Chains A and B, each alone.
Chain A
């Protein structure tokens, strides 16, 4: 007996390096996915951080620097510009990047203050002089973004930019740049509402059809078809919306602007439908079969059961589905870039062009100077998008799931 015990002890305590190492590696790799989330948040936010960097210290420094500049002659400042930055950053620019609405972006006026503009003219020409090339050629713009002079003006600009964040004008590239996020926010909200009004009822009803009414054969066609819709790249949906749907809808409704929030909303709805459909279907399938059978046994018909028993029971899941659909639309970039017209306007009319937050990043990031205020503001928009989708996902995950469990298990 004792011998046996000893044997068991020995086998238990036998230490295997390969097992130990494998477990360690697997564990640490798995942890990386959490790290990624933290890293994403950290690095997106880090690039936007300079905009908040106007503490008293920085302000003091700015004053000092500006007074120094006032005393020194322009040549000195010019020299500062000429000195290559310790780590010059290269930025590739692709000629005329925007087509119709953003012509001012191609001019690329500097965001520096006028006084400095005058003194830094030669250096600036070096930076921005090659803007006239046509759209097929590629311009490589070497921006010495971390040079001293830019830093000073950036701090000033950041203060200015922070003040304009809650205004109605989004004019990032002008002599007096204004970074009003309100039109972008409004545009995104408009698109989200339109797309949800279109996609949510369709997807939820379709899910109800496949999980309650549909014969098995039909179900096996509809489900993979909608899964296939999920696999269509957003750029293809955007292309379809831009080339075909926009004209078709314009003929149908006869509004003035061809690309507007309505077209964009419908197109994004197409991207959101598979998400809403899949999660709603899962939620409906998670409703206990007893609910369905009890309802039928009480004399309710099939449609009454579907609408008054199944649907209410799955409400939290459907809510989560719509939330995730909203998250998808909110962050959708390519469709917004291609089908919404991309004009930052404040109107409430759904047949006007709009510009969404994500599309702004996509359209303007390629042409900003690294380290510039505009660059920081774009990253700030990115952080906002990240926080928003993170919160939506957290709500869908914890709150809704908890309620669903409560409801179904009756605890």
Chain B
């Protein structure tokens, strides 16, 4: 009897241990990745590195243009993606009936947008924004002169906005759902119209959700490279992008280019680690802020 019990416990110990070990392996890989990149990039992580241009054929110097390009792209992307995402989320929670065909197909479309490989967005940006819209704009306004029908920061940002749209929609929807039904009903009962209720009651209550969505979208957009590979990222630019029709440098693309396409990979190794560390810290801090915000929203729902 005791032996049997021990056997069972041993088995239980083994299987429970198996699951624990799996979780630990994942965490360990994450930590190792962080530690290695931090150690490798620590020496490069200086103010000078962040604020100076690359020099000597990109083997020396800083990453300022890449940082600036990423920031600019992310801002334009947010301007495009956030209003869209918020409005779609409002429709899904406030207007659409839960199980109507329209609501379900919009949800399906959003989820599909979320799983489409990022490279497809790049192809779409090339085929739609650059070749269709851009070339069309050129022949309509520029008299056939080439201005918009080529990769630039506007097309890259819009492509990225499409990619990050589901992120915004999902977080805002989650936040809108935490607003108690009673608040809406009270507002309607006081004579406010539906739109007034949404604008004065629902939206102010969901600011933290909109913030979370924006932050997550920004962190996703800052890290993605595939969509901007052929819609606007440039290998090296001597000047910062001055207008929407300029190309730009981006952190992720910089890492990719330096590690795989550069002639002297070993020589630029510190820069690669430094750039990776900067990108990692950027996305990480944004993600941590978003996780904390989301945690607070969830707590509100329980309370």
Instruction: Tell me the A residues contacting B by CB distance below 8 Å.
Output: 16, 18-19, 22-23, 25-27, 29-34, 36-37, 39-40, 43-44, 46-47, 86-90, 92, 94-99, 134-136, 138, 201-206, 208-210, 212-214, 222, 224-229, 231-240, 242-244, 270, 273, 277, 301-304, 306-307, 324, 327-328, 330-334, 337-338, 358, 361-362, 365-366, 370, 378-379, 382, 385-386, 389-390, 392-394, 397
Contacts and interface: CB of A to CB of B under 8 A. Distances in A.
A134 B262 CA distance: 10
Contacts of B30: 225-226, 228-229
B60 interface: no
B276 A337 contact: no
B19 A205 contact: yes
Contacts of A277: 26
B230 A234 contact: no
Nearest to B84: A29
Given A209-B19, A327-B115, A362-B229, A233 B149 contact: no
Pick from A205, A212, A394 the residue with the most CB of B within 10 Å.
A205
Contacts of B120: 40, 44, 331, 382, 385-386, 389
Nearest to B262: A135
Given A29-B91, A228-B284, A397-B108, A236 B127 contact: no
Contacts of A239: 37, 255, 259, 272, 276
B252 A92 contact: no
A251 to B, nearest CB: 15
Given A96-B261, A225-B30, A233-B222, 6 more contacts: A44-B120, A94-B261, A225-B27, A302-B16, A334-B226, A365-B229
Contacts of A23: 95, 194-195
B90 to A, nearest CB: 6
A34 B283 CA distance: 29
Interface stretch (B61-69, B132-140, B178-186): B132-140
Contact of A37 (B113, B138, B272, B284): B113
20 contacts: A19-B193, A19-B194, A23-B195, A30-B106, A34-B105, A87-B144, A89-B135, A89-B150, A94-B235, A96-B263, A205-B19, A232-B283, A240-B37, A243-B259, A270-B29, A302-B12, A337-B260, A365-B230, A379-B127, A382-B123
B45 interface: no
B72 to A, nearest CB: 18
A204 B19 CA distance: 8
A212 B19 CA distance: 10
Contacts of A32: 84, 88
B261 A231 contact: no
A90 B123 contact: no
B226 A213 contact: no
B124 interface: yes
A208 B102 CA distance: 35
A365 B252 CA distance: 18
The 9 closest A-B pairs by CB, nearest first: A331-B117, A233-B223, A30-B91, A205-B22, A209-B19, A231-B287, A206-B23, A43-B127, A333-B226
A321 B65 CA distance: 39
Contacts of A205: 18-19, 21-23
A232 B222 CA distance: 10
B195 A92 contact: no
B158 to A, nearest CB: 11
Interface string B225-269: 110011000111000000000010000100110011111000001
A235 B256 contact: yes
Nearest to A361: B119
B102 to A, nearest CB: 8
B227 to A, nearest CB: 9
B201 interface: no
A240 B15 CA distance: 31
B57 to A, nearest CB: 5
B11 to A, nearest CB: 7
Nearest to A201: B22
Nearest to B110: A33
B234 to A, nearest CB: 8
Interface of A is mostly: helix
B131 interface: yes
A242 B40 CA distance: 14
Contacts of B79: none
Contacts of A243: 40, 259, 269, 272-273
Contacts of B162: 36, 40
Given A239-B259, A397-B108, A40 B223 contact: no
A206 B256 contact: no
B46 interface: no
Given A27-B95, A47-B127, A90-B150, A232 B138 contact: no
Contacts of B234: 92, 138
A203 to B, nearest CB: 7
Nearest to B292: A224
A277 B86 CA distance: 27
A244 B287 CA distance: 24
B118 interface: yes
B33 to A, nearest CB: 5
Given A202-B22, A206-B26, A90 B111 contact: no
Contacts of A222: 23, 27
Contact of B19 (A208, A224, A304): A208
A31 B102 CA distance: 8
B16 A43 contact: no
A235 B88 contact: no
A366 B116 contact: no
B275 to A, nearest CB: 9
Contact of A231 (B18, B128, B284): B284
Nearest to A87: B135
B87 A29 contact: yes
B20 interface: yes
A128 to B, nearest CB: 19
B112 interface: yes
Nearest to A31: B106
A235 B26 contact: no
B225 A234 contact: yes
A175 B92 CA distance: 54
Nearest to B222: A233
A37 B112 contact: yes
